Amino acid sequence: MDADGGLVDQTRYKALIGSLLYLTKTSEPDITFVVGVCARFQSAPKESHMTASKRILRYLKGSEEVGLWYPKEGGFKLIGYSDSTIFGCRVDGKSTSGTCQMLGNKANFWFSKKQNSIATSTYESEYISAAFCCTQLLWMKQTLADYKCSFENVPIFCDNISAINIAQNPVHHNRITKHIEIRHHFLRDCASKRKIEISFVPSQDQLADIFTKPLSSETFASIRARLGIMHIE
């Protein structure tokens, strides 16, 4: 996006972004990342930001027949996916966290969020993202418990081995994690109490990639389908 372009009507831009943000929370997880990026420029939107937002509208217009599908098949296993990008924002250098939670093969929660502080390494940004994912999984476990559904060792799939090792063996990695905010270390506690289990997943199978970075059309279509977004007749 061209940060030096001409300014556009702020009220109109905010209205457009607000409508798109509503869609990302309800039925359009595939546009969550790009809408989140556009939402960062609401205080002083430029022509390039408005152009990018209109491209999102054209994408939605061309995919009216595509939507979230919740089939009866697929089981009822609670699974989390966690990913992040290091220095994802060109403006302030902060990373972008992305997670999604699945019940069987059905996406039921997702988010893409710029982290509050600048991560100094890939493993730090991935560790923080996994902590975000863990909080949501604990909430899901508590909610589903009201319906007599019990889950133990809920897996969080992460594609960074260093972040997994930090969560599984905090003593060995204590020296390199002193600068990470204490509030993120509850991930270790949840892992030690077997509330969650952090597991490795290859990058090509990481569903949370769609919430953290731009992807090729082939990868985007593949992840979108695996999230349960498909043609509805």
What string of pLDDT tens digits covers the 233 residues of the chain? 556 678 899 999 999 999 999 999 888 899 999 999 999 899 889 999 999 999 999 999 998 888 888 877 767 889 999 999 887 777 777 889 999 999 888 888 998 988 887 877 788 889 889 988 999 999 998 888 888 888 888 999 999 998 888 887 755 455 555 556 555 667 888 888 888 999 999 999 999 999 999 999 999 999 999 998 887 76
- DSSP class of 134: H
The pLDDT value recorded for residue 215 is 92
Q: What are the E-state strand segments in 56-207?
A: 66-68, 78-85, 96-103, 106-114, 154-158, 196-200
Enumerate domains of the chain plus CATH numbers: 10-64 (no CATH), 78-226 (3.30.420.10)
Show the CA angle centred on residue 91, arms to residues 125 and 21, nearest 5°. 75
Cross-strand bridge partners of residue 84 = 97
The pLDDT value recorded for residue 60 is 92
The pLDDT value recorded for residue 184 is 61
Neighbours of 133 (CB within 10 A): 29
- Summarised one tens digit per residue, pLDDT across range 148-180 is 888 888 999 999 998 888 887 755 455 555 556
Task: Find, among 165, 172, 101, 169, the residue nearest to 127 by Cα.
Answer: 165
Collapse the DSSP code of 38 into the 3-class scheme (helix H, G, I; strand E, B; otherwise coil) and give the result: helix
Give Cβ neighbours of residue 100 (< 8 Å, ≥ 6 apart).
29, 80, 81, 107, 109, 110, 111, 207, 208, 211, 227
Neighbours of 89 (CB within 10 A): 15
Q: How far apart are CA 158 and CA 183, in angstroms?
A: 19
Q: How far apart are CA 230 and CA 224, in angstroms?
A: 8
The pLDDT value recorded for residue 21 is 94
Q: How far apart are CA 32 and CA 211, in angstroms?
A: 6
Q: How far apart are CA 160 and CA 171, in angstroms?
A: 19
The pLDDT value recorded for residue 4 is 61
- Summarised one tens digit per residue, pLDDT across range 63-72 is 888 888 887 7
pTM over 0.95: no
